[in-house]
Amino acid sequence: MAEGGGAAVEMGRLLRAVTKAGGRRGVPLGTRTHTRPLLADCAIFARIRQPDPAAAKMAASFPGEAAVIHFEGDRTFPLPVADVAAKLSDAAFLIGCLPDARVTEATPDRGAWKLKPKFTFLTGTLDMTLTATARIPGEAVAYRVTTKAIGAGSAVETKLAFVPTADGGTVVRWTGDLVEVTGLLKMVPKGLIQSTAEKVIDDVWTAIGAKLAAGG
């Protein structure tokens, strides 16, 4: 118990040090700010400097694979960190925000669903999974998202860090790394994948903001 607590305390210290409790007053629910997030590529997850084995294992689980395409940003919500972190660390809550998803599995650690593709270069139905790969309760979470389509597939690693604002809200600093593409996706121009994915990411954040606002 002491080892895990030490890692969480150190994570909290590092998060506060790099963010200085950043955030903006009066920012509407789920607002996307366009400044480069101070957490950048979430390298903070790989810099937990604890001598104990538990902390070393946690740090090693976060860095992930080399990215094919990298995304990052932040979203501000006028809700306490505890509330936002609890919801966004729950895989079942996240997939419940997707209005067109046909959910086949929903637990706090894993979700699975089927979805019609929003990518013009994919056809049929997408089989998708969302799996929590690491958590520091109330402060950070990491997920792996897999997608399978006819003749194609992908894997994305995403990390979220929850930072309190001066007025009691929460900034969610996030990164997403497309770490694997297979089949037909390898022939799709990188720029087309990136632009389409950015639209999907915006839609997902909008849906999350709406559900948080409704009390989730």
Neighbours of 31 (CB within 10 A): 16
Q: Where are the alpha helices (DSSP H) in 49-157?
A: 53-61, 81-88, 91-95
Mean pLDDT of the chain: 77
Which residues, in sequence order, are CB contacts of 190 under 8 Å at separation 6+? 68, 69
Which residues, in sequence order, are CB contacts of 3 under 8 Å at separation 6+? 50, 52, 53, 54, 55
For the chain, the domains span: 2-213
Structure confidence at residue 60 (pLDDT) = 44
Sign of CA dihedral 216, 105, 91, 130: negative
Which residues, in sequence order, are CB contacts of 121 under 8 Å at separation 6+? 184, 185, 188, 192
Task: Please give the DSSP secondary-structure letter assigned to residue 53.
Answer: H
Q: CA-CA distance, 147 to 136, in Å (whole number)?
A: 26
Cα atoms in the 13 Å half-sphere on the side-chain side of 83: 15
State the fold for domain 2-213.
Answer: Alpha-D-Glucose-1,6-Bisphosphate; Chain A, domain 4 (3.30.530)
Query: How confident is the model over 144-162, as a mean pLDDT?
Result: 94
Query: How confident is the model over 39-47, as a mean pLDDT?
Result: 40
Please tell me the least confidently modeled range out of 34-38, 41-45, 131-135.
34-38
Q: For the chain, first and last CA: distance in Å? A: 31
Q: CA-CA distance, 111 to 132, in Å (whole number)?
A: 9
CB contact at 8 A, 141 and 160: yes
CB contact at 8 A, 143 and 131: yes
Structure confidence at residue 67 (pLDDT) = 62
Structure confidence at residue 117 (pLDDT) = 75
Query: How confident is the model over 15-37, as a mean pLDDT?
Result: 39
Helix and strand numbers, DSSP H then E, in the chain: 5, 8
Residue 109 pLDDT more than 90?
A: yes
Query: How confident is the model over 80-98, as a mean pLDDT?
Result: 97
The reported pTM is 0.71
Per-residue pLDDT of 63-78, as tens digits, reads 555 568 999 999 999 9
